[in-house]
Chain A
Amino acid sequence: MKFLARAKEFWDEFKHRKIGLLGLGILIIIVAISVLAPVIAPMDPTRWSDVGYWTNNPKGVPPTWFYYIQGRTPIPQLYLENYTVKARKISGYPMVEASLPINFTYTEFPTMVKWRINVTFVGAGAFYQIYVTRPDRKKVTLYSGTVTTSNASQGWSVIEIDATRHPDVERNIGEWLNSNGIDINRVNLGAPVQAVFADLKALKKNKPVPLRGKYSFNIRAIAQGKKINVTQFRLILGATAYGLMGTDKSGRDLFKGLVWGTPIALLIGVLTSVLGVAIGLLYGVTSGYIGGWSDEAMMRVVDVLMSLPKLPVLIVLAIAYRPTIWLIILFLTIFGWMGIARVSRSIALQLKESAFVEAARAIGASRKRIIVVHIIPNIVPYTVAALALGIPDAILTEAALSFLGLGDPSLPTWGAILNQAQSGGALGSGMWWWFIPPGLAIAVVSMAFVFIGYAVDEIVNPRLRRR
């Protein structure tokens, strides 16, 4: 009841501070995003750095809405799996031909061409060829190869190839373009494989435009044995835009990264700040209340820690320990409690001499009781602001470490995304969706806590109040 009354009193003061309300509003949104992360961006956050997890996504494409506001229509991500199989014999060898038709009506090239084909056969091995037939009746061989098996009775092979930048595919396309009088090195395409979908006349003038119409992706395979079949044929054509925030160069969905970065940032900020304030408070109060030589010694420890340059030491620690997120929180806490310790100590020194503490001594209250019942509750209000202001500090420091590539490598922190954007050359290639949103997220979250901190500070330290 006492607590409620005091909380209401506090809220009555707080609600008159616009900046505090703004911060609180942002905070509520951040917390909602954190809580709802599994719903709005379903993902296992620990697989953020697992390249295989993202392999089918288009790589480095902007957000979908960015296309629409420009009045363009992006190609969607296409997963094609409906194929037809024809089997026959050639010179006594079994042959299978599977084809997968596409009606390509888009105005842009797919950013990725990728297939997964499962060939099963009985015999020593098989030879296969993958080719495309185009609406202009031209045929392009993309890839060919052999599969072998040591088990003569039953063999199978999965042919999974990302053709987007595959050297064999590039060579084959180069030869094909050459036979049509085009030098592959002079065409202006995002990836060589896109030439498969190009209008050759326009390409000759170096104006890449897709040729619309019916294409067909095919595999023809001949077994050196008795039987052969194609049991899976899947083609993926990469979208030119993806989701709300686009993807990075590994195909990671940046929206998911941003959303999952929120609870991680909150965890780091809140835990570090709470631990730092709790440690600082207890340390400072103990030092101040005991006084004398132990106070002197304890404060010198604070001075030493305070005079250490925080970031360089953290960098060294991070290099030495390759930290997990918990270790980072521990490191940040070690460097985050001294300010509170000093403030708490000076308030404790003042309270120690106050008449109500002397009264408590006169009734026989123990030292512990005086600290817990009379001193700490009178310091806590002063630390609330420091608590709020410590959170952005921790978030920013962690972002700095992650940006230097020294964060927890397995998790999608905003700093880590920025680090990958930096090493992926996002700035140079204009992939703004890779570095602006995480940068903004760090700024906005920090700002929210700073706003709340200022508003709280004004309430608990009335001297700061403006008229």
Chain B
Amino acid sequence: MSRSDGNDVIVRVENLKKWFPIRRGLADIVMRRPRKYVKAVDGVSFEIRKGEIFALAGESGCGKTTTGRTILRLIEPTAGKVEFMGRDIMSLNRDEMKNFLRRRAQIIFQDPYESLNPRKTIEDIVGEPLEVHGLVETKQEKREMVSRYLEEVGLSPPEDFIFRFPHELSGGQRQRVAIARALVLEPKFIVADEPVSMLDMSIRASILNLMLDLRDKMGLSYLFITHDLATAKYIADRLAIMYLGRIVEMGRAVDVIDNPLHPYTKALIAAVPVPDPRHKIGEIPIKGEVPSPIDLPSGCRFHPRCLSAFEPCDKEEPQLKEVEPGHFVACHLY
């Protein structure tokens, strides 16, 4: 896998793993049964370039959200390395975490109904990062900053919003508030965890366009987590498809979607509904259900569901290979 030189990379993830231990009962401890793990993320590597929107797509449970959170160290990884702006974030101490990572990397959550404290006003919510980092000294300054960022995310006039509570706003407005909260610290990188999946179709495009505008204005990079390939194609520069904790295909978003290589990617694309009543979703080239992430299949973890599985698939785990320039796939077919 070829690497671009350090300077234009903002996030580099190497062999990241997050295994969640399963709570053992007393009987398991007495019987000395080995501890089992949910292997939510099991060896993921990628890099995000400055100004890039990198999308991570896959079914629910494939580990894409866990990956996003681990990169921000909201979850401690089991193994692997994450470099952010050239620094290994696992080696940061408390002060460095606060003054470096927390100021430069932010997150936007999927559910705008849950991500805002219901007992705080919009001003308090958007102003909190400024307070935590001591960036404003007076209430007046705080209000000015909050107002500026509310306008930035399209909530204007800001005076109409600062005194309101989250429950007084619509879903789209709330998500804009969440974006404003992520922006006030002027971060370089934002993890957007399915930011539009809970929103009405009509609002999605405006939020996505806002995110694109902000990237251009503020030089942001995004890790855009989504299960919706249409959204991914619309917003992302590059796209990685995850399956059971691993990346199975990665490349420019248009390449991956228009010319999918991995059988799983092909199945996902075949399942995307087309808004045309005459169009029938044909046979989706996949069988069975997602296996449990506790007892993973041997070899290629997709092989029990793969229609093209052959000889080595149940024994050897395929590695990512660059099949076309910048287009990687982990499959024995290539």
- Interface on A for B, CB 8 Å cutoff? 2, 354-356, 358-366, 369, 373-374, 377-378
Chain A residues near B132: list those with CB within 8 A: 363-366, 369
Give A191 to B97 CA distance when docked, in angstroms: 88
Chain A residue, CB-CB nearest to B69: A358
Q: A354-B114, A355-B111, A355-B114 are in contact. Are A362 and B119 (CB under 8 A)?
A: no
Q: What's the least CB distance linking A168 to chain B, in Å?
A: 77
Contacts of B106 in A (CB 8 A): 362-363
Q: Is the CB of B129 within 8 A of A364?
A: yes
Specify which chain B residues have a CB less than 8 angstroms from the CB of A356 in the assembled complex: 114-117
| Bound complex: CA A355 to CA B110 (Å) | 9
How far, in angstroms, from A313 to B185 measured CA to CA in the complex? 56
Q: A359-B109, A360-B117 are in contact. List 20 more A-B contacts (CB 8 A).
A: A2-B121, A355-B114, A355-B115, A356-B116, A359-B116, A359-B181, A360-B128, A362-B106, A362-B107, A363-B128, A363-B129, A363-B133, A363-B181, A364-B98, A364-B99, A364-B102, A364-B133, A366-B132, A373-B128, A378-B117
Q: Count residues on chain B whose CB falls below 8 Å from chain A CBs.
A: 27
Q: Which 5 A-B pairs have the closest CB atoms?
A: A364-B102, A355-B115, A363-B129, A355-B114, A364-B98
Among A2, A359, A378, which residue has its beta carbon within 8 angstroms of that of B107? Answer: A359
Residues of chain B within 8 A (CB-CB) of A377 are 119
The CA of A374 and the CA of B98, in the complex, are separated in Å by: 18
Which chain A residue lies CB-closest to B112? A355
Question: Pick the contact of A374 from B110, B117, B121, B129 — CB < 8 Å?
Answer: B117
B31 within 8 A of A: no
Q: Is B252 an interface residue (CB 8 A)?
A: no
Report how far A164 CA is from B185 CA in the complex, Å. Answer: 88
A362 touches B103 (CB 8 A): no
Give the complex CA separation of A360 and B125 in angstroms: 9
Chain A residue numbers with a CB within 8 Å of B55 are: none
Q: Which residues of chain A are near B118, meaning CB under 8 Å? A: 378
Of A2, A358, A369, the contact of B74 (CB 8 Å cutoff): A358
In the complex, residue of chain A having the shortest beta-carbon distance to the beta carbon of B115: A355
Chain A residues with Cβ below 8 Å from B240 are none
Q: For residue B268, which residues in chain A have a CB less than 8 angstroms away from its CB?
A: none
Q: How far is the CB of A4 from chain B (nearest CB, A)?
A: 12
When chains A and B are docked, how far (Å) is the Cα of A362 from the Cα of B70? Answer: 11
Those of B62-100 within 8 Å (CB) of chain A: 69, 72, 74, 97-99
> Is B178 an interface residue, CB under 8 A from the partner?
yes
Also in contact, A358 and B185, with CB within 8 A (given A363-B102, A363-B129)? no
Q: How far is the CA of A212 from the CA of B111 in the complex (A)?
A: 92
Bound CA span A377–B133, Å:
22
Please indicate the chain B residues that have their CB under 8 angstroms from the CB of A358 in the complex.
69, 74, 107, 109, 115
Contact yes or no, B74 A361, CB < 8 A? yes
Q: Which residue of A lies closest to B117 (CB)?
A: A356
Which of A358, A364, A365, A374 has the most chain B CB within a 10 Å cutoff? A364
> Main SS of chain A's interface residues?
helix
Q: Name the residue among A2, A356, A362, A366 with the largest chain B CB count within 10 angstroms.
A: A362
Q: Evaluate contact between B117 and A362: CB separation under 8 angstroms.
A: no
Q: Which residue, of A355, A360, A361, A366, has the highest number of chain B Cβ atoms within 10 A?
A: A355
A378 and B115 within 8 A (CB)? no
Report whether B102 and A359 are in contact in the complex, using a CB–CB cutoff of 8 Å.
no
Q: Can you give 28 A-B contacts (C-beta < 8 A)?
A: A2-B121, A354-B114, A355-B110, A355-B114, A356-B115, A356-B116, A358-B109, A359-B181, A360-B117, A362-B74, A362-B106, A362-B107, A363-B102, A363-B106, A363-B128, A363-B129, A363-B132, A363-B185, A364-B97, A364-B98, A364-B99, A364-B103, A364-B132, A365-B132, A369-B132, A373-B128, A377-B119, A378-B117
Known: A363-B181, A364-B133. Is A355-B119 also a contact (CB below 8 A)? no
| Contact A365 B111, beta carbon cutoff 8 Å | no
Nearest chain B CB to A5's CB is how many angstroms away? 9
Name the one of B103, B115, B119, B133 contacting A359, with C-beta atoms under 8 angstroms.
B115
What separation, in Å, do the CA atoms of A363 and B117 have in the docked complex?
14
CB A382 to nearest CB in B, in angstroms, measures 12
A359 to B110, CA, bound (A): 11
Q: A6's closest neighbor in chain B, by CB? A: B119
Measured between C-beta atoms, what is the minimum distance from A378 to chain B in Å? Answer: 6
Minimal beta-carbon separation of B70 from chain A (angstroms): 13
Q: For B128, list chain A residues within 8 Å (CB).
A: 360, 363, 365, 373
Interchain nearest-CB distance for A171 vs B (Å):
80
Check A378 against B119 for contact (C-beta < 8 Å): yes
Q: How many angstroms from the CA of A374 to the CA of B132 in the assembled complex?
A: 13
- Note all chain B residues with C-beta closer than 8 A to A374: 117
What is the minimal beta-carbon distance from B147 to any residue of chain A, in angstroms?
Answer: 18
- Nearest CB on B from A347, distance (A): 13
Residue of A nearest to B100 (CB): A364
A374 to B119 Cα, complex, angstroms: 8
A378 and B97 alpha carbons, distance in the complex (Å):
27
* Chain B nearest Cβ from A377, distance in angstroms: 5
Q: How far is the CB of B246 from chain A (nearest CB, A)?
A: 25
- Roughly how many angstroms separate A366 CA and B132 CA in the complex, as a whole number? 8
Q: State whether A355 touches B109 (Cβ < 8 A).
A: yes
Per the 8 Å Cβ criterion, residues 123-172 of B in contact with A are 128-129, 132-133
- Cα distance A317–B63 when bound, in Å? 57
Task: Give chain B residues whose Cβ lies under 8 Å from the Cβ of A355.
Answer: 109-111, 114-115
Residues of chain B with a CB closer than 8 A to A363's CB: 102, 106, 128-129, 132-133, 181, 185
